[in-house]
């Protein structure tokens, strides 16, 4: 298996619009999410870093990294979605319309009207931590389900916000299924970043919450004189972030938006597999989901995310783990003059995929399909920082998951 397996989605190049993108990520939701996030104590715009020298080496105009490793205190973008979903749910229960000031929502009067609520989520780590953080800040309890391969560091981080963590003997998808059954039994409020039949409103709010990082990035790019990125590489598990980004840009620029590339682990490539089926339906990936990219180890696409991606994602890509490991090392040991970026396994796979796409001769058809070249301004999202210190050290210190020799650059073979 090569470093990048890919498929062009011709639907995204068609002149037809996407009803799903407009319906799920309308402009007013983007505004509401940004307005809410600005009110959170400690909120600040996460940095947009430019890897000028790497871009020059790779032969593209710019490589821009939206660094979510410093988002609030959680080292991940996920808190944007979970917190916005909790905000919308509480606002609805209180019968409040429009943008509600956070102090009003968290007042003793409001909390008294709401009564006790337990928020619940299934997670590979980052989403659950975001839900636990939001529940804790608002004075509610939370229960978070994780699968058996979840790193202890991630579990401990979730528990630090007062959550009751339940470890399920199975995959992420098994944790989701167990959560659904237990939440119904205990009357918990599920805040999930994936959807299923009869459960779409909250995952929609989660996806809308993610648009804040893209809205910020647009402002930051504009300050550099760049109207929009030419390309955006988006990592995907169930597809919520990728769908949020593609819909955000489709809403701003229509068919003239950036070319979107959705990147998954080879051993959890449910979106690429669904695209290859070609029937417009989401399909389950059959496998053990054994990848270091814990945040992307998902075997079933979110149906509402898939609706957007089927219409709007230009290319679907899958990569083996060594691609993510290379991305981590390049971020961590940048060229002289480029900024240092702390990136976990799921955060770095898009940089690895971009570099292989630009370097490998057998991927020339992909470069041509994407029209990657000297005028390209590429946006990447570093979705997480060092959320699993043991794995981070294994990759950066010990050189785990090296690039196979046949795929190394000439410099790397010396």
Class of domain 5-76+204-413: alpha beta
Mean pLDDT of the chain: 95
User: The domain 78-201: what is its CATH number?
Assistant: 3.40.50.1100
> pLDDT tens digits, residue range 196-254?
999 999 999 999 999 999 999 999 999 999 999 999 999 999 999 999 999 999 999 99
Instruction: Determine the Cα–Cα distance for residues 302 and 319; give it in Å rounded to an integer.
Output: 20
Is residue 206 within 8 A of residue 193, CB to CB? The reply is yes
Instruction: Determine the Cα–Cα distance for residues 252 and 316; give it in Å rounded to an integer.
Output: 22
Please check whether the two domains, 5-76+204-413 and 78-201, share a CATH topology: yes
- Single out the catalytic residue among 49, 66, 78, 326: 78
Instruction: Determine the Cα–Cα distance for residues 30 and 179; give it in Å rounded to an integer.
Output: 29
Separation in Å, CA 63 to CA 47, 173, 182, 301, 351: 14, 34, 44, 28, 9
Instruction: Parse the chain into domains and list their residue ranges.
Output: 5-76+204-413, 78-201
- Single out the catalytic residue among 67, 124, 193, 311: 124
**CA-closest candidate to residue 232, choices 354, 358, 345:** 354
Report the pLDDT value the prediction gives residue 410, as an integer from 0 to 100: 66
Instruction: Determine the Cα–Cα distance for residues 241 and 219; give it in Å rounded to an integer.
Output: 19
Confidence of residue 414 (pLDDT cuts 50, 70, 90): very low
The more confidently predicted of residues 348 and 97 is 348
Would you say residue 413 has pLDDT above 70? no
Is residue 139 within 8 A of residue 106, CB to CB? The reply is yes
Would you say residue 374 has pLDDT above 80? yes
Report the pLDDT value the prediction gives residue 172, as an integer from 0 to 100: 87
Is residue 319 within 8 A of residue 355, CB to CB? The reply is no
Report the pLDDT value the prediction gives residue 71, as an integer from 0 to 100: 95
**CB contact set of 92 (below 8 Å; sequence gap of 6+):** none
For range 327-340, the mean pLDDT: 98
Percent share of the chain, pLDDT over 90:
91
Confidence of residue 376 (pLDDT cuts 50, 70, 90): very high
> pLDDT tens digits, residue range 78-109?
999 999 999 999 999 999 999 999 999 989 99
The answer to whether residue 124 is catalytic is: yes
User: DSSP letter string over 209-253?
Assistant: HHHHHHHHHHHHHHHTT-SS-SEEEEE-SSSHHHHHHHHHHHHHH
């Amino acid at each position: 298996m090569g470093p990048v397996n890919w498929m062009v989605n011709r639907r995204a190049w068609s002149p037809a619009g996407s009803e799903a993108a407009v319906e799920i990520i309308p402009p007013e939701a983007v505004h509401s999410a940004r307005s809410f996030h600005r009110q959170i104590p400690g909120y600040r715009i996460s940095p947009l870093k430019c890897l000028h020298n790497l871009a020059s080496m790779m032969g593209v105009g710019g490589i821009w990294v939206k660094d979510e490793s410093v988002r609030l205190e959680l080292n991940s973008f996920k808190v944007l979605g979970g917190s916005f979903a909790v905000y919308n749910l509480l606002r609805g229960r209180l019968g409040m319309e429009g943008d509600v000031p956070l102090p009003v929502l968290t007042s003793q009067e409001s909390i008294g009207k709401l009564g006790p609520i337990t928020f619940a989520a299934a997670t590979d780590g980052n989403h659950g931590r975001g839900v636990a953080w939001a529940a804790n800040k608002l004075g509610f309890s939370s229960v978070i389900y994780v699968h058996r391969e979840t790193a202890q560091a991630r579990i401990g981080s979730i528990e630090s916000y007062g959550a009751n963590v339940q470890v399920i003997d199975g995959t992420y998808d098994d944790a989701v299924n167990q959560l659904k059954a237990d939440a119904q039994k205990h009357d918990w409020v599920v805040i999930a970043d994936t959807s299923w039949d009869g459960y779409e409103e909250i995952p929609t709010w989660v996806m809308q919450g993610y648009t804040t990082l893209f809205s910020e990035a647009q402002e930051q790019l504009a300050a550099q004189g760049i109207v929009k990125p030419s390309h955006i590489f988006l990592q995907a598990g169930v597809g919520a972030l990728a769908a949020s980004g593609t819909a955000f840009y489709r809403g701003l620029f229509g068919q003239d938006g950036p070319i979107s590339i959705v990147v998954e682990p080879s051993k959890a490539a449910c979106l690429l597999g669904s695209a290859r089926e070609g029937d417009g339906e989401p399909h389950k990936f059959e496998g053990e989901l054994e990848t270091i990219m814990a945040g992307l180890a998902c075997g079933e696409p979110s149906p509402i995310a898939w609706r957007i991606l089927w219409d709007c994602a230009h290319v679907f890509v899958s990569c083996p783990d060594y691609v993510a490991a290379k991305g981590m090392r390049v971020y961590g040991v940048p060229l002289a003059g480029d900024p240092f970026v702390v990136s976990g396994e799921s955060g770095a796979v898009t940089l690895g995929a971009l570099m292989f796409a630009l370097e490998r001769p057998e991927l020339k058809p992909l470069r041509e399909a994407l029209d990657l070249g000297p005028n390209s301004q590429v946006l990447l999202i570093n979705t997480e920082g060092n959320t699993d210190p043991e794995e981070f050290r294994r990759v950066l210190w010990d050189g785990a998951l090296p690039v196979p020799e046949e795929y190394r650059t000439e410099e790397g073979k010396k």
